[in-house]
Amino acid sequence: MSSVTNIVILHKTKFGDSSFIIHGYSSNHGRCGFILKKSGRSTSLSQLHPLSVIEAEISEKSKGELIFINNFRALYPLQGIRESVSKSAVAIYISELLYRSIREYGPSPGFFSFLVKSILLLDGLSDDFANFHIWFLVELSKEAGYAPERNYNEGSLFDMASASFTDTPQPGSKYFTRESSALLATILSEKQESIHKIKLSGSKRGQFAREMTEYLSYHLGFTINIRSLEVLHTVFE
């Protein structure tokens, strides 16, 4: 018995000589692993790049926890991402972030819609998308249930444990740096279309991304190591 689902591609690895293991987020099943057998469709396989959104016919028969993909098609061409080295670097970073952070995440129409809207937004941006990934980090924290409070005062620090800003930091607690705290408050107060107007150096962007990742790690209960972050910030340096 088969069914149809939409999947955001997060990670792809070769499995044996004739198959791939696909990790993705499915509209019907949440975070899942899939097996896709090669069948000479090199053009189709090339569509499975990071953050591709596909419609897949899947088999209910599973191998362990992996579901078989029988057929698939790309729902969006995503040419803006595929034809831009910079956008591709952002897509690789976001897909790795999701791959390593939403390890056990059930089906959620709202979360799936958030992912697709974010992907299409990145694909359609013409320029000034160097801040896109740090905006996405903040939005992801909201979607995951750890929305930072908007109680910033000039000079206050963001407390990871309470998800709020404080003027009286305590020893032993985890806080953002003063610069990253101010940047978080700015991102929270700006609309998405204005994020590109925030002028940042590559080092400040990188520091903020690391602190936001640490914040997510703190609340998720495991360390998130993103290997593609340094490559991304080299692109936008």
- Taking the C-alpha atoms of residue 141 and residue 50, their distance in angstroms, rounded to an integer, is 20
**What is the pTM for the complete model shown?**
0.94
pLDDT at residue 63 above 70? Answer: no
Average pLDDT on 81-97 reads 96
pLDDT in tens, 39-59: 755 557 778 999 999 999 999
The per-residue pLDDT for range 169-207, each reduced to its tens digit, is: 999 999 999 999 999 999 999 999 999 999 999 999 999
Domains of the chain as residue ranges with CATH: 2-74 (2.40.50.140), 79-235 (1.20.1440.120)
H helices of the chain, where?
A: 42-45, 79-82, 85-101, 109-124, 132-143, 178-189, 202-220, 229-235
Nearest to 80 by CA among 121, 33, 109: 121
- pLDDT of 83 reads 94
